[in-house]
Amino acid sequence: MSSGDESSRSRAETYAEFAALVGTLAHEIRNPLSTIRLTMELLAEDFEATDPQSPTKHRDRRAKAKIELVRQECDRLQKLLGDFLDFARQESLVLEPGSLNAEIEQLLDFFAPQAEENSVEIVRYLDPELPTVRLDRETFRSAVLNLLLNAVQALDGGGQLVVRTRPSGLGVVLELIDTGPGMDTETLSKAFRAFYTTKQGGSGLGLPTARKIIEAHGGTIDMESAPSRGTKVTIWLPAPPRLPTGHLSR
């Protein structure tokens, strides 16, 4: 074994140990956090049962408001821990031959009600002559769903989201193009940085996790954006030459 192979193996083992450590720590935090939230719910029920004519009703209302704040913070921390576990998890992907178009069609059909609720029009341009790719369906769909959610949140008040697929070199490309407000250069440069977010209550782990998943598929993800000109996310996936070309239905 070459020194380069040994170095890569050592880094992989170190990362695996680190991922296991942070995963265990996150779970250890999650358990008491769940207990705190449940206790707050039970305490809130006690205050709701208080006689509204009680002389301490004003004090009780203040206490109930503080309890609700603790519950909200517990929910926020639980979501952050979930996002962190998704980001830190080292998974062995099960890559199987599949149709990118079929996956995107199913995902967009699932996502359509949420887009409609937010007045977002989804326009599909899916090339019917795409080569077959290798996908881990669950992780790939989670990555694209996160990107769709980001686009809808950016289109606050409504707009258009174009979803396009096309062949590109030795692979295929998926493009998500929104008509949102876009980002300036500084924000764009930090978009894939872990824990960086411009959204209130966001964890800043959605885009880094999506990039990690796409790169685990052997692909790449890039983002272009400018203020008042929207944002375009481009995902490239390799198409192994040994796989047949054409639409592969599931």
- The per-residue pLDDT string of the chain (250 residues; one tens digit each, 9 = 90 and over) reads 555 556 555 555 555 565 666 667 766 777 777 788 788 777 777 766 656 666 666 777 777 778 888 877 777 777 777 666 666 665 567 888 989 999 999 999 999 999 999 999 999 999 998 999 999 888 899 889 989 988 998 888 889 999 999 998 889 999 999 998 888 888 888 877 766 666 665 556 778 888 888 988 889 999 999 888 889 999 999 988 754 444 444 4
What's the CA gap between 246 and 127, in Å, rounded?
10
Give me 193's structure tokens: 């940085």
Asked if 243 and 227 touch (Cβ cutoff 8 Å), the reply is no
Query: What b/e readout covers 77-96, taking b as 16+ CB neighbours within 10 angstroms?
Result: eeebbebbbbbbeeeebebe
Distance CA 8, CA 216 (A): 16
CATH architecture of 96-238: 2-Layer Sandwich (3.30)
pLDDT of 243 reads 45
Instruction: Tokens for 56, please give them.
Output: 């301490």
CA distances (Å), origin 161, targets 28, 142, 152, 216, 224: 40, 18, 8, 26, 15
The pair phi, psi for residue 166, each rounded to 5°, is: -165, 155
pLDDT of residue 22: 64
- Ordered by start, the domain boundaries in the chain are 3-88, 96-238
For residue 233, the SS3 value is strand
Cβ-in-10-Å burial (0-12, 13-18, 19+) of 213 comes to buried
| Contacts (Cβ under 8 Å, ≥6 apart) of 226 | 182, 183, 184
Q: Against a cut of 0.75, is the pTM above it? A: no
Q: Given its phi and psi angles, is residue 159 left (phi above 0), alpha (psi -120 to 50 degrees) or beta?
A: left
DSSP letter at 170 equals T
Give the CATH fold of the 3-88 domain. Answer: Helix Hairpins (1.10.287)
Between CA 138 and CA 49 the distance in angstroms is 45
Spell out where the chain has E strands: 96-98, 120-126, 133-135, 159-168, 171-178, 220-225, 231-238
Query: Alpha-carbon distance 243 to 200, whole Å?
Result: 44
Please tell me the predicted confidence (pLDDT) of residue 5.
56
